[in-house]
Structure 1
Amino acid sequence: MAFRIPKAVTPQALSEQMKQGESLNLLDVREPVEWAEGHIEGARHIPLSQLMERYGELDPAQEVIIMCRSGSRSGLACELLHEKGYKVVNMTGGLNVWTGRLVRD
């Protein structure tokens, strides 16, 4: 049986939540070169390849909205964190379909 993430959010819905001023816990699991090209302001960056070593940096009491380029790696990250007891939400479609502003550090 395939693993099912309990929650998902579209980029459009996430953008709306941000416009409403909601306090959100965002995690971008793309690689550093992708992050440098632009990311959502306020997101934390932990590449998927480092997630199992660094997941302790996240607060298990807070819901984490996870994103990547297309929604595939973030889905895997959701599965990994869900198994560790984290509350996770996958941003479906990823940054490929994000229409909001991106920032560069």
Structure 2
Amino acid sequence: MSDSATSTAIRVHLPTHLRKLAHIDDGELTLDVPGTVTLGAVLDVLETHYPVLKGTIRHHDTQRRRAFVRFFACEEDLSHEPHDAPLPDPVVRGTEPLLIIGAMAGG
């Protein structure tokens, strides 16, 4: 069986404002991600299942992360990693979630 025919269950934790927008009751959801599990692949599946989130996490045209959104997994900031880089093994195995966080700014 090839990579494209298999999928991996990935745990994703969304911030409250995105959960409310997408009408998601629980803070964590599980997404089946086909092929290699990358940040971009997870976001593709998330936006496919919840189209209202398109443009809220990454820009429509460039697919780049929005300025006040951060990605964390296994206590590491993945926000500046390439979207095609594989996610850490604990995320792929489902023992750790991918956290999508709304960053705070101000002084």
Normalised by the length of structure 1, the TM-score is: 0.25
Normalised by the length of structure 2, the TM-score is: 0.25
More helix by share: 1
**Greater Rg, structure 1 or structure 2?**
2
